[in-house]
Structure formats: structure tokens, C-alpha cells
Amino acid sequence: MRKYRVVFSLVLLIGLFLAIWAFFAEPRSFSVNAQTVYLDTWPKACSGVRVAVLADLHVGSPYKGIESLRKLVRQVNASRPDLVLLPGDFVIQGVLGGSFVTPEQAAEVLAGLKAPMGVFAVLGNHDWWLDPQRVERALSGRGIRVLEDASTEVAHVNCAFRLVGISDFWEGPHNIGKAMAGIDENTPILAFTHNPDIFPQMPKRIALTVAGHTHGGQVYFPFLGRPIVPSRYGQRYAIGHIVEEGKHLYVSPGVGTSILPVRFLVPPEVTLLTLSALEK
């Protein structure tokens, strides 16, 4: 019996440690995760462009309030990105232990982001559930341009390309044709959106599509995978760099949490992508 009690105590201690890690230590952590993505259709003049991706901020989720957001902005600026992309879900609805932060408060802090090529946003499903016009006004009123099924030219020094924003796959029109209208066939394109489920519909001429939404599943079990991913494709577009049929997608696991304030082996991050042209 003593042997069984020892085993039970060890299991209990391990379970307690994992619970503390998943509900406290990992969700409150934060890092800037630098990744290089090699793209065969990216122009050499733009090789080395650094793109900071701040996905799924969910400001007000546990450990991710306004003060945490201020710290995040400082760290992102210290990493000196050329371009900042905000792929939606700025607010929360009903996350356990969270406290609602208005989009106006979040936008006031995000206005401190600095990048020579600009700071751009699209809306996520949580932003639509709150009030898409309100969230867009909050961001644009602080100098953050919102690209909902629209595009703009981005240029700095000798590098120039078209940045395309696609509205949310669940709640927005996600009108790719409208977003791509008027773009010359030979123009390099970087696209971003909230939900990666739009990826199969994205034209091959887009060098890279950047997305968030999935949170990387928030929980990852080695050998078993990610039990819950909010995608019709399951784990297919859960996280990281995906290449299909010559098209490139990068899904950031994001910063905040949704529904449950848990992260396990999927730590919060700002993803810093260096876009590199493949030698031909």
C-alpha cells in the first residue's frame, strides 16, 4: 500500500505542476519569436524585410491587460521591425478570469508601435462579435490603417510591394477579388487575414499569407497533437509555416487566450518574420 501511496503522490504532484504551468506560468509568459521564411516569389530588393505579427491580442484575457500590452509594444519596437501586422481579435468575450478592455483603450497603446513601412490591421471574429465599426474606428483613429478586403502599396528604400488585407473568414465578406482589384500581375504581394481557413482560396501569386486565429490550439500534447483547433481543417493550419501547392502560409499562435486561460507548449508570442527571397 505504501508503494501505491508514493505513486499516487507523485502523479498528484506532476498533475499539480502541469496545471500551474498551463494555467499560470505559460499564459503569462511572452517572447518575440524570430523566424525566417524563404519565398520563391519574393523580390530580392525586399529580401530581409522584418514583419512583426501581433495576432490575437485578446486584450483583457488573464495576464494580458493594458500594462502587459504596453510592455509588448516596447519589446516589439526594440526588435526594430520594418512592418507591423495586427491580424485581429483585439477584444475578448467571456474568457474565464478575463476583464473586458475597450478597443479604444487597446488602440491607444497600440498607437505606440513604430515601423518604417507602417502598422496595419484586419479584424477578427471577436471584433466582429463586439462591433466591427467601433473596433475599426478605434484603430484608424490612432493611425493604424485597417485593410478589410483592401490593399495598399508599402515601400521603403528600394523595396516595394502590395499589402493585401482579407476580412475574417467567419464573419467578414472575405472578398479576395475586391482586395486584389487593380493589382498588376507582376507586383509582389504580401497578404494577411485573421482566419487561415481562407488559405485554399488565396491566389498562388501571393508570396505569403499571414494569419492568426487558431492560437496554435493553445494546448499541444507531444505525439497526440492539438486537441482543439478552431478550424474546419483541424490541425492542418494550426501553427507555423505551411506550404501547399506552391503557396505559403504562416500562422502565428498569438498572444492572448480565448474561452479558457490555458496554454500548454504553445507559449504566447509576437512572431517576427524575416522574409527572404530564394535564390533562382
Note the pLDDT tens digit of each residue in 215-229.
999 999 999 999 999
- The answer to whether residue 95 scores a pLDDT higher than 80 is yes
Query: Residue 8 has what pLDDT?
Result: 47
- The answer to whether residue 213 scores a pLDDT higher than 60 is yes
- The answer to whether residue 18 scores a pLDDT higher than 60 is no
> What are the residues whose beta carbons fall under 8 Å from the beta carbon of 173, sequence distance 6 or more?
149, 167
Percent of the chain residues topping a pLDDT of 90:
84
Mean pLDDT of 158-181: 97
pTM of the model: 0.95
Query: Residue 218 has what pLDDT?
Result: 96
With contact defined as beta carbons under 8 Å apart, do 187 and 213 qualify? Answer: no
Which domains, and CATH codes, for the chain?
A: 2-277 (3.60.21.10)
Sign of the dihedral defined by the CA atoms of residues 101, 102, 108, 111, in that order: positive
Query: Residue 12 has what pLDDT?
Result: 54
Cell of 253: 499562435
pLDDT tens column, 118-146: 999 999 999 999 999 999 999 999 999 99
